[in-house]
Amino acid sequence: MKIIVWLTESTWPACVDAATDYPEAQVVLLHVIDPDSVEAAEAARAGLLGRGIPAAAPRAHRTLVEAQAALLDAAEARLTRPAQRLARTGRVEREVVTACADADLLVLGRDGDHARLGPRSLGRATRFVLDHAPCRVLLVWPDEPPSLATLPAPPRHPPPDSGPPAPPPPPH
């Protein structure tokens, strides 16, 4: 069995812990750098220091690659067994789906609102991956799940005994 564990900065410990439930599986630790992060870092730097400052995109990218390596190191240490490491750069949701082409299971974490149950507990990329993953998916809460009391109220419908709707008034 081949398991892909999608590591994000906020959910990786819970995802790695879930993978430990499969001791015989081949584990692939996956992290993706979004190129928009590099652009955002450069834009913030230019906004703070002025546009005349030399570009720092290589420095920003190098910093993100170093952080990616540290995250993969921490995840492998938490897993307590060897794992394949997959470090990618690109559109996050597309890279994750592509990495799952030959996987049996993808482990990922809820990365949205953790205070209540519902669709907002998933970020945009996570929702895309859930909808498009070519393998089974194990979705984990990165912390304690909210109680059922946070479940949204059901939609309001007319009472079942109200009968058919009234016909429209006749034209004049």
% of the chain surpassing 90 pLDDT = 62
Burial letters 117-140, b for 16+ CB under 10 A, else e: beeebbbebbebbeeebeeebbbb
Measured CA to CA, the distance from residue 99 to residue 23 in angstroms comes to: 21
| pLDDT at 57 > cutoff 80 | no
Other residues' Cβ atoms within 10 Å of the Cβ of residue 19:
25
pTM of the model: 0.80
Average pLDDT over residues 46-55: 59
Q: pLDDT tens digits, residue range 107-136?
A: 999 998 888 888 888 999 999 999 999 999
| pLDDT at 145 > cutoff 80 | yes
| pLDDT at 12 > cutoff 90 | yes
